[in-house]
A and B are shown apart, each in its own frame.
Chain A
Amino acid sequence: MKANKFAAALVAASLTGAAYAQDEEADGGTGQALYEANCAACHQYDGGGVPMMQPELILSEKANGDIGGVIDMILLGSAAVPAGTSGYSNEMPPFDYLSDEDIALIASYVRTHFENSGGAVTADDVRARRASHAGQ
């Protein structure tokens, strides 16, 4: 097997320290930290998404519309999008195992960043959306 062993080894050695430092900083329990841990791999740190694969969250309709838009995406993932209507090649998993509080923090972060102005949501809003889906 041929590989850029030299490059990989150097990089691993020189950068792990920085990566750890960043992890610690981000682990503050804030909406941003939760977004970065759960969502940013796909939607990117700048909310820019990946063309054709994952939508950008910048000026997202859902993040500027009804209280439930982003909450439902987090609770249901791609199941919140009517079948056959998606223009994206990846699928979003549900994050229903996160607490109502964490989901509210993430949804609020998305709705108040990336040029969105949908405004914050509360854990009660998340509870209400969860209950409405449980009845379906």
Chain B
Amino acid sequence: MKRQLLAILMMSAAMAVPAQADITGVAEDAPIPADTGIKLAPGFRATVFADGIGAARHMAVSDNGWVYVALMKPEEGFGAVALYDSDGDGKADERVPFARGMSGTGMGINDGHLYFAEDERIMRWPLPEGGAPEGEAEMIVEGFPNKRQHSAKPFTFDSDGHLYVNIGAPSNACMEKMRTKGSPGMDPCPILEEFGGVWRFDADKAGQTQVDGMRYATGIRNAMAIDWNPHAGALYIAQHGRDQLNSFFPDMYTEQQSAELPAEEFHRVEEGADIGWPYGYVDPDIEGRVLMPEYGGDGKATTDRGQEPLIAFPGHWAPNDLLFPRSEVLPAEMRTGAFIAFHGSWNRAPKPQAGYRVVFVPMDEAGAVSGDWVTFADGFAGEGPIMSPRNAKHRPTGLAEGADGAIYISSLMSGGRVWKVVYEGQ
């Protein structure tokens, strides 16, 4: 029965018939190629770009083809690494560590600078011609409080010089007592004043702190997946939904419901938006947002606080990065869509864990979803079912696009790996 559950979820992803866009996902029954460990949508080919680089997170690629990777744990004392494939075989042969004594998740390039985010601060260097950045980093935003839970600071830029930073809520459901059975949710949730949203800063100004920023959107538990959609000119995020419905409300949620709920939400985020955490969550079978049980919900009653997502993805898949491709290399029907890397669940136990994949969402130029999402890359975790997350061989954690249209995918498991995925045509 457990196998059936996974099979159904996977099949519905792979067989989804797009409404307008003609995009085929990964063939569900395809074997996992031994050389790369991942299987891809038809027309794409992968190489293992780099192996054993450490706990790889988000990435950025310069126009010269240097790939900059943030590391969640220092690797031999460095918190980031620059990679380069000088002979064009799809495998990096140069590897230059940087960010000594640091570690972090966010990495990005904007206006001739390389930006890197530790959990407490965001810094930048002039983007080098090649290799690692040199000299002292310039601090752009400093002094984020680090409360451990959801403390990573992924970021993105718009085209007007703004830096958008996810400041995750150090909380599961804004309970009075952290993750404690029977503890009610606080209303209003005081955490939202400093956390649980996206703050906007000046991308070009040194020495800012959080108060210099503007709270652009709120009610976001944690959005590791955040990117500016250059076609629609709008911010998009995918949120990590809350955990442990069954642990705290065993009479209301079975283990199976707790594994499936809540949905992971994909949103377009306008200035001033309130997504709805912690007051509600999304159940794909219920119209509107379901009132959080910590706030008096019974699993059915809804709340009008918050906005509806564009897509409700299966529960606990953990969206860890979002990428709107910008090159003209992908097939036409993919150029305005979005890639989302799901690093895979831990909160589905005792049911099999799930997610470990990269999906593609077809979207039109205005930023509306134009068809059903498909699985773009799969097999990261190895042959399933994965009952315990430690058994997942790889978990996709970051996405980036090269100027040549190649898609890079990172994983922090098994020593850390980056794949390069290129489109070769049908």
The chain A residues found within 8 Å of chain B, CB to CB, are 1-12, 14-16, 18-20, 22-23, 36-38, 40-42, 44-46, 48-54, 56, 77-78, 86-91, 93-94, 97
- Which of A3, A54, A56, A88 has the largest number of chain B CB atoms within 10 A? A3
Are A19 and B256 in contact, with the CB atoms below 8 A?
yes
Q: Is B102 engaged at the interface, CB distance under 8 Å to the other chain? A: no
Are A91 and B8 in contact, with the CB atoms below 8 A?
no
**B305-329 to A contact mask, C-beta < 8 Å, 1/0:** 0001111101000000000000000
Are B8 and A7 in contact, with the CB atoms below 8 A?
yes
Q: Is B36 engaged at the interface, CB distance under 8 Å to the other chain? A: no
- Apart from A8-B260, A46-B388, A51-B390, list 17 A-B contacts with CB within 8 A: A1-B284, A1-B308, A9-B285, A11-B5, A12-B257, A12-B285, A16-B257, A40-B349, A41-B347, A44-B349, A45-B387, A48-B389, A52-B72, A89-B150, A91-B149, A93-B177, A93-B179
Knowing A44-B389, A46-B387 touch, does A7 contact B312 (C-beta < 8 A)?
no
Closest 5 CB pairs of A and B: A3-B284, A19-B254, A3-B312, A48-B388, A50-B346
Contacts of B373 in A (CB 8 A): 2
Nearest-Cβ distance from residue A20 to partner chain B, whole angstroms: 6
Are B312 and A1 in contact, with the CB atoms below 8 A?
yes
**Cα A121 to Cα B178 with chains together (Å):** 27
Q: Which of A8, A11, A52 contacts B412 (CB 8 A)?
A: A52
**Nearest-neighbor residue (CB-CB) of A15 within chain B:** B256
Nearest-Cβ distance from residue B333 to partner chain A, whole angstroms: 17
Stretch from B60-68, B75-83, B242-250 forming part of the interface with A:
B242-250
**Cα A64 to Cα B127 with chains together (Å):** 50
Chain B interface mostly = loop
**Nearest-neighbor residue (CB-CB) of A22 within chain B:** B255
Q: Which of B150, B247, B310 contacts A1 (CB 8 A)?
A: B310
Are B151 and A89 in contact, with the CB atoms below 8 A?
yes
**Nearest-neighbor residue (CB-CB) of A2 within chain B:** B311
**Cα A42 to Cα B72 with chains together (Å):** 20
Knowing A20-B254, A41-B349 touch, does A11 contact B260 (C-beta < 8 A)?
yes
Q: Is B180 engaged at the interface, CB distance under 8 Å to the other chain? A: yes
**Cα A54 to Cα B387 with chains together (Å):** 16
Contacts of B395 in A (CB 8 A): 51
15 contacts between A and B (CB under 8 A): A1-B308, A7-B314, A9-B285, A11-B260, A14-B1, A15-B1, A15-B254, A40-B350, A41-B246, A41-B347, A45-B350, A46-B388, A51-B389, A89-B149, A89-B152
Knowing A1-B310, A1-B312 touch, does A90 contact B148 (C-beta < 8 A)?
yes
Are B391 and A48 in contact, with the CB atoms below 8 A?
yes
**Cα A7 to Cα B373 with chains together (Å):** 14
**Nearest-neighbor residue (CB-CB) of B257 within chain A:** A12
Nearest-Cβ distance from residue A77 to partner chain B, whole angstroms: 8
Are B247 and A23 in contact, with the CB atoms below 8 A?
no
Contacts of B220 in A (CB 8 A): none
Q: Is B378 engaged at the interface, CB distance under 8 Å to the other chain? A: no
**Cα A93 to Cα B180 with chains together (Å):** 7
Are A56 and B390 in contact, with the CB atoms below 8 A?
yes
**Nearest-neighbor residue (CB-CB) of A93 within chain B:** B179
Q: Is B4 engaged at the interface, CB distance under 8 Å to the other chain? A: yes
Are A41 and B247 in contact, with the CB atoms below 8 A?
yes
Nearest-Cβ distance from residue B275 to partner chain A, whole angstroms: 13
Q: Is B263 engaged at the interface, CB distance under 8 Å to the other chain? A: yes
Are A14 and B9 in contact, with the CB atoms below 8 A?
no
Are A8 and B349 in contact, with the CB atoms below 8 A?
no
Nearest-Cβ distance from residue B122 to partner chain A, whole angstroms: 18
**Nearest-neighbor residue (CB-CB) of B177 within chain A:** A93
Are B149 and A22 in contact, with the CB atoms below 8 A?
no
Q: Is B413 engaged at the interface, CB distance under 8 Å to the other chain? A: yes
**Nearest-neighbor residue (CB-CB) of A97 within chain B:** B180
Are B55 and A41 in contact, with the CB atoms below 8 A?
no
Contacts of B148 in A (CB 8 A): 78, 86, 88-91
Contacts of B390 in A (CB 8 A): 44, 48-51, 56
**B232-275 to A contact mask, C-beta < 8 Å, 1/0:** 00000000000110110010001111001001000000000000
Q: Is B32 engaged at the interface, CB distance under 8 Å to the other chain? A: no
